[in-house]
């Protein structure tokens, strides 16, 4: 569950960072005033994941299929961060419970990886970083699932 939580946290952080980057690109004068930059950073840090996805949707004019993937990622993040902890001690006591939790985590981690991949590619494009190969992009979700669930 720890690795799944790490993936969930990474997705949330990447959404926050991209939304903040877009805010700074829209208001570059923030970089000239340390107080304003600090206030902006505090504001950006407090935004919830759904709010950051809404910022990305509006500023990037994302297609609905991407917004849907990001929303599915948000729900998967909430499941991993909140739902898995509720009653986990009882679920983990039986083989069936452990199997069920492993299957659910596998699904949710894949959803997170697919959503995070969208955020990473957009971020790389905006910052002029090279985008990975198609092979890497196609393999990424499964690699993340394996990293989380194979241990």
The Cα-based distances of 59 to 21, 53, 70, 116 in angstroms read 11, 10, 15, 18
Running DSSP on this structure, what letter comes out for residue 82? I
pLDDT given at position 66: 96
What's the number of domains the chain is made of?
1
pLDDT over 90 at 128, yes or no: yes
Mean of pLDDT values over 56-74:
95
- Which residue has better confidence, 31 or 107? 107
Mean of pLDDT values over 81-107:
83
Q: Are 56 and 70 in contact (CB under 8 A)?
A: yes
* Residues 6 or more apart whose Cβ sits within 8 Å of residue 20: 40, 41, 44
Mean of pLDDT values over 128-142:
94
Residues of the domain holding 47: 2-149
- The two tokens of residue 146 are 């394996």
pLDDT over 80 at 140, yes or no: yes
- The two tokens of residue 28 are 């570059």
pLDDT over 80 at 90, yes or no: no
Alpha-helical segments (H) within 34-94 = 34-46, 49-60, 64-78, 88-91
Mean of pLDDT values over 34-50:
85
List pLDDT tens digits, range 13-38.
Answer: 999 999 999 988 888 787 888 888 88
- Which residue has better confidence, 88 or 66? 66
pLDDT given at position 151: 63
pLDDT over 90 at 95, yes or no: no
Average pLDDT, the chain: 90
Positive or negative: CA dihedral 136, 127, 74, 81: positive
Residue 121 phi, psi (nearest 5) = -65, -40
Distance separating alpha carbons of residues 83 and 116, to the nearest angstrom:
20
The torsion angle over the Cα atoms of residues 80, 86, 89 and 95, rounded to 10 degrees, is -60
pLDDT given at position 70: 97
Residue 57 phi, psi (nearest 5) = -60, -45
Is the whole model's pTM more than 0.85, yes or no?
Answer: yes
């Amino acid at each position: 569950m720890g690795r799944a939580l790490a993936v969930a946290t990474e997705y949330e952080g990447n959404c926050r960072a991209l939304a903040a980057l877009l805010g700074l690109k829209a208001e570059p004068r923030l970089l000239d005033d340390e107080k304003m930059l600090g206030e902006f950073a505090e504001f950006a840090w407090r935004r919830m994941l759904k709010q950051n996805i809404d910022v990305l949707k509006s500023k990037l004019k994302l297609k609905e299929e991407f917004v849907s993937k990001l929303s599915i990622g948000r729900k998967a993040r909430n499941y991993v961060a909140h739902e898995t902890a509720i009653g986990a001690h009882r679920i983990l006591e039986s083989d069936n419970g452990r199997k069920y939790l492993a299957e659910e985590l596998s699904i949710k981690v894949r959803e997170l990886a697919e959503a995070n991949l969208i955020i990473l590619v957009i971020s790389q494009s905006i910052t002029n970083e090279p985008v990975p190969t198609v092979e890497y992009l196609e393999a990424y979700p499964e690699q993340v699932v394996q990293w989380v669930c194979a241990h």
